[in-house]
Amino acid sequence: DGGITQSPKYLFRKEGQNVTLSCEQNLNHDAMYWYRQDPGQGLRLIYYSQIVNDFQKGDIAEGYSVSREKKESFPLTVTSAQKNPTAFYLCASSIVGQRNEAFFGQGTRLTVV
């Protein structure tokens, strides 16, 4: 079945460590996105990519980095520069150039210990 897979579902990180969250899609979508959800703040856009080897900062990109080497994959690295990394991270994908919905993965809960 087509869809978006995020892994792992739960992730623990020590302060000062970088950690990479995986996102893979087999929907043949060109665009991929990373959102962060915090209680009471909805979903905020971290980074997005419309095409391989290109990506743009979203509203809260500081402390994060991404890569888009393959159409199917859009990993997110949470660096030690991110001051409040504990959150629920959601990856999404969509078709570019059409007005349609974005499809979301199941999310990764990152906790800094």
Partner 1 sequence: DQQVKQNSPSLSVQEGRISILNCDYTNSMFDYFLWYKKYPAEGPTFLISISSIKDKNEDGRFTVFLNKSAKHLSLHIVPSQPGDSAVYFCAASFPSPILTGGGNKLTFGTGTQLKVEL
Does 13 engage in binding with partner 1 (CB under 8 A)?
Answer: no
Three-state DSSP class for 91? strand
Q: In the complex with partner 1, which residue's Cβ is closer, 13 or 44? A: 44
CB contact at 8 A, 90 and 43: yes
List, as one string, the DSSP characters of 55-101.
EEE-TT-TTEEE--SBTTB--EEE-TT-S---EEEEEEEE-TTS--P
List, as one string, the DSSP characters of 46-61.
EEEEEETTEEEE-TT-
Q: In the complex with partner 1, which residue's Cβ is closer, 45 or 80? A: 45
Q: In the complex with partner 1, which residue's Cβ is closer, 73 or 80? A: 73
Question: Which letter does DSSP use for residue 92 in this model?
Answer: E
Choices 12-20, 60-68, 72-80, 94-102 (CB under 8 A): range interacting with partner 1: 94-102
CB of 97 to partner 1, least distance (A): 6
Residues 19-78 that bind partner 1 (CB under 8 A): 30-31, 33, 35, 40-45, 48, 50, 56, 58
- What residue ranges bind partner 1 (CB under 8 A)? 4, 6, 9, 30-31, 33, 35, 40-45, 48, 50, 56, 58, 88, 90, 92, 94-107, 109
